[in-house]
Structure 1
Amino acid sequence: MTTALRPPEAGTGGLPVKEPPTRKGREWLADWNPEDDTWDQRLAWRTLTITTYNLTLAFITWFLVSAIAPRLNNIGFGLSTSELYWLTAMPGLAGGLLRLIWMFLPPVLGTRKLVSISTLLLVLPLAGWGWAVQDATTPYVVLLALAFLCGIGGGVFSGFMPSTSYFFPKRKQGVALGIQAGVGNFGVSVVQFLVPWVIGFALLGTASIGPEKVVKPARGLGESIWLHNAGLVFIPWVVAGAVLAWFYLKSVPVQANLRQQLDIFREKHTWIMTALYMMTFGAFSGFAAQFGLLIKNLYGTFPDAPDPLKWAFLGPLVGSAARVAWGPLCDRFGGAIWTVVSGVGMTASTVFTVFWLTPSSLGEFKFFVAGMLGVFFFAGIGNASTFKQMPMIFERRQAGGVIGWTAAIAAFGPFLFGIGLASISATAFYLGWAVFFAACVGLAWHFYARKGAERPS
């Protein structure tokens, strides 16, 4: 089979690009060029809507453990502080590893199969946790394995985002990817907000399952809770998302084998953008996974201590909202300058928060929360701006690969933050990340934001 040549794209060194062979099956579009003014906007926005819905469910699954872990000891599990940190870190390790697989799948499977199958896999950890928490003698290794399976929800991001980017022209990718990633990130807040509510009563469909007895009372808890609801309540929504994707999505004929996709690693800007996205999403996901445990461990010994599950959702909510809101601003002003703003804000907010990590009274809690919300807010801005930069720096196929790769590495955030907080003091941990944030500001300014930058974006 022969392939046609089309004009060169930015980032290809001026060489013509081979058109991929025709893909067979009704799901595959015969041709797709979003840079053409006649592109099918309805199909693009339908794809964005369905994949964003499913990505939200994926993030709910990925951060399920962060909402369950603070309650495990209340129902008799008896886990140490270190074990709890490791448990909430495991989905981050899995998410990062699995993103290294999912990043290669969009050109191989196509959007329809990729989104449908990936979404259906979320049932495994959701059902698994619904079963495991019913018995406080469930071995810790089983809990770790279920936490690892939750990483599927993090892994799919590196498939969904590049796949969606194929459907939109570069001028609209800031908005499109900002909406998808930002609304998807809301899944973190959804699970941390809903879980404290749904564990308080029997749900229709799970009423036959008895509640878990509370053996270690805590503020706001009765004698029993339905902690198994935390996973089971989302299963019907996941099944619906998989069905929607299977029947309503199409696939763009972008095709590349593994060897062709590896060419992104010969480009230094892949590595620079990896560092920048680790600054933004790595910190967002890391702090989101640990925020509840940080509140419990730093402020939980005071009388009338705050309920961590009633505060943990605020950080991801602020960061996700910022990511959505800044998509249009990044399209208008460019992503690079906002990445610089993000890094400066994250550095300052992190240093501010350091002063409230060794509290002497509960009155300091409001300053700790304010500092953390600042970190989340500026991380959200950076999450939007970096995803605007990548399609501008790289040609379309490479941009998809770079988005997948950088997302994979940044997904290790929950794991790195979990083992870091379990290994060193919170103060040293925060200061170390503040230094990293400041270094990333220098990279963003020098290569992308300053006048005469190598790749203005």
Structure 2
Amino acid sequence: MTSETGRRAPRAVGDRISHWDPEDRRFWEETGRHVARRNLWASIASEHIGFSVWSIWSVLVLFMIPEHGFSTTPEQKFLLLSVVTLVGAVLRVPYTLAVPVFGGRTWTVIATLALIVPTVAAFFLVRNPDTPFWLLLVLAATAGVGGGNFSSSMANINSYFPEREKGWALGLNAGGGNIGVATVQLVGLTVIALFTTSAGHLVPLFYMPLILLSVWWAHRSMNNLVHPRGETDAHLSAVRDPHFWIMSLLYVGTFGSFIGTGFAFGLLLQAQFGLEPVHAAGIAVLGPVVGSLVRPVGGRLADSLGGARVTLWVFTAMAVCAAVLVLAVQTGRAPLFIGTFAVMFTLTGLGNGSTYKMIPSIHAARAEDAVAAGEPRDRALARAKRVASSMLGLIGAVGALGGVGINVGFRESFAATGSTAPAFLAFGAFYLLCAVVTWAVYMRRPARPALAVENVGATAR
């Protein structure tokens, strides 16, 4: 089977695909869509397990209670979550760079196999309450390898889909991974309900066969796209681009809030309102579920309404939620706290989808400008796709640092005042800053038309 350009379509699973042109509608309809979706589903499975392993300690800290011999304080638990989040964020940079070097299929298999290390470590650590805290901190940090999967997966999947479908595809890929935060909490809740809080080691044990199953699926169903030379230049171009830093700031606000509060929500309910582990786990699972499920909706809204417009609405509403959370903490109203957090998780999910749609849109608009200036369309689009893929992975790394800030903020606020209200005040101010930046850079009439993200959808179509 060939496309209009005469390029042979890939047939066998696992083939290295040297020519891939999803913008060619005939190629896309006849062959490209099927191959892209096959890779997407396997990628989602691997990323889902990666997120579950990355966030596994957000559940295991609920099992670390004095009744079972643990003496860790709430401040130490917040520090533990911060370190795990930090390692995951840092690893997103090399994971992004690994995709063009090894290929999406090969790297997905390697990255998924690496999840066995933190899973085995967690299994033994939770069974031994006498583990020194420094050793617990070091070994738990290995769970950060699960956080790296996101960036490599998003950079890989971005190359498969045409511009007109990227918002939905990237949102689906990211949302399927993000919901791993909720899945591991659901597993923890089930273990508590069936075996009490003395059986925390069963949570990592549950994931060991799933890791192997995900490895098999990736090896069987995915392809390696042959990336052109110059990927390193694409990464350097991405970092030098002012929009890299602007979009990183916005993603710190959306994804950083999602992953940070997703890790900390159960511990917040336990430390701030004195909920028992089973109750804290039962409530905490709901937030990441909502935030993950609506992420593709955020991408779809961005496809139709414009990424900047959706993102501006999201940050404005998040600032309002932060103010309500301060009130809930100061008045000790747990139902108001939980309800507002549910809204906050919904907003972070929408914002995650809309911000990620903005990234390739910016470069698609620039490619159209280059074509209008006389550059060959194929070359302009190929360059835009390479730089956008680099941005997706690297911005994912910077955004995850927001999760570190969230947990450090909770730790310092709790240690200083015994309350998380000061932390929520700081978060609210940051969301307002992100709203202003979104409006100033992407909503006002720009000096150059290519920078108007709101116009990109029409331009690409």
Give the alignment of 1:37-56 within 5 angstroms: 37=25, 38-39=27-28, 40-56=32-48
Note the C-alpha offset of 1:247. Answer: 2.3
2 CA distance for matches of 1:160 and 1:69?
28
Partner SS for 1:49: helix
Q: Deviations over 1:21-52 (max 9, x none)?
A: xxxx9631020011111131111000110000
- The answer to whether the aligner puts 1:281 opposite 2:277 as a matched pair is no
Note the C-alpha offset of 1:358. Answer: 2.8
Give the alignment of 1:144-223 within 5 angstroms: 144-201=137-194, 221=196
Q: Which amino acid aligns with 1:229?
A: L
Percent identity of paired positions between Structure 1 and Structure 2: 30
CA contact (8 A) 1:58 1:187 kept: yes
Aligned twin of 1:379: 348
RMSD over aligned Cα atoms: 1.9
C-alpha distance 305-238 of structure 1, shift in aligned 2 (>3 A)? closer
TM-score by length of 1: 0.86
CA contact (8 A) 1:290 1:414 kept: no
Partner SS for 1:137: coil
Aligned twin of 1:343: 315
Q: Deviations over 1:102-158 (max 9, x none)?
A: 121111111111111101111111111111111211222222123211111111111
- The answer to whether the aligner puts 1:412 opposite 2:401 as a matched pair is yes
Counterpart among 440, 444, 454 of residue 450 in structure 1? 444
CA contact (8 A) 1:447 1:453 kept: no
Aligned twin of 1:440: 434
1 CA distance for matches of 2:315 and 2:398?
18
Q: Deviations over 1:235-277 (max 9, x none)?
A: 1111111111112211122233434421212211111000010
2 CA distance for matches of 1:418 and 1:190?
20
- The answer to whether the aligner puts 1:296 opposite 2:265 as a matched pair is no
- The answer to whether the aligner puts 1:27 opposite 2:15 as a matched pair is yes
TM-score by length of 2: 0.85
- The answer to whether the aligner puts 1:131 opposite 2:150 as a matched pair is no
CA contact (8 A) 1:56 1:184 kept: yes
2 CA distance for matches of 1:378 and 1:451?
26
2 CA distance for matches of 1:453 and 1:150?
44
Q: Deviations over 1:364-404 (max 9, x none)?
A: 11100111112111111110001111011121111111111
Counterpart among 98, 108, 126 of residue 105 in structure 1? 98
Unaligned runs of 5+ in 2: 1-12, 364-383, 454-461
Aligned twin of 1:92: 85
More helix as a share of residues = 2
1 CA distance for matches of 2:350 and 2:283?
21
CA contact (8 A) 1:201 1:225 kept: no
CA contact (8 A) 1:161 1:177 kept: yes
CA contact (8 A) 2:63 2:277 kept: no
- The answer to whether the aligner puts 1:71 opposite 2:58 as a matched pair is no
Partner SS for 2:16: coil
Q: Which amino acid aligns with 2:355?
A: T
- The answer to whether the aligner puts 1:231 opposite 2:200 as a matched pair is no
- The answer to whether the aligner puts 1:358 opposite 2:352 as a matched pair is no
CA contact (8 A) 1:299 1:306 kept: no
- The answer to whether the aligner puts 1:393 opposite 2:385 as a matched pair is no
Aligned twin of 1:423: 412
- The answer to whether the aligner puts 1:80 opposite 2:73 as a matched pair is yes
Aligned twin of 1:369: 338
Q: Which amino acid aligns with 2:425?
A: L
Q: Which amino acid aligns with 2:220?
A: F
2 CA distance for matches of 1:229 and 1:297?
24
1 CA distance for matches of 2:240 and 2:299?
29
Partner SS for 1:233: helix
Q: Which amino acid aligns with 2:43?
A: T
2 CA distance for matches of 1:200 and 1:228?
14
1 CA distance for matches of 2:232 and 2:277?
52
Aligned twin of 1:213: none
1 CA distance for matches of 2:85 and 2:76?
15
C-alpha distance 279-26 of structure 1, shift in aligned 2 (>3 A)? closer
Note the C-alpha offset of 1:354. Answer: 0.7
Note the C-alpha offset of 1:287. Answer: 0.8
Q: Deviations over 1:396-455 (max 9, x none)?
A: 111111111111011123322222211125222111111111111111112223345752
- The answer to whether the aligner puts 1:58 opposite 2:50 as a matched pair is yes
Partner SS for 2:328: coil
Partner SS for 1:347: helix
1 CA distance for matches of 2:241 and 2:71?
48
Unaligned runs of 5+ in 1: 1-24, 203-220
**Which moves more between the two structures, 138-147 or 36-45?**
138-147
Q: Which amino acid aligns with 1:448?
A: Y
CA contact (8 A) 1:91 1:414 kept: no
- The answer to whether the aligner puts 1:320 opposite 2:313 as a matched pair is no
**Which moves more between the two structures, 304-313 or 380-389?**
304-313
Note the C-alpha offset of 1:171. Answer: 0.5
Q: Which amino acid aligns with 1:31?
A: H
Q: Which amino acid aligns with 2:440?
A: H
Q: Deviations over 1:143-182 (max 9, x none)?
A: 2123211111111111110101100001100000010111
Partner SS for 1:33: coil
Q: Which amino acid aligns with 2:345?
A: F
Note the C-alpha offset of 1:200. Answer: 4.9
CA contact (8 A) 1:85 1:418 kept: yes
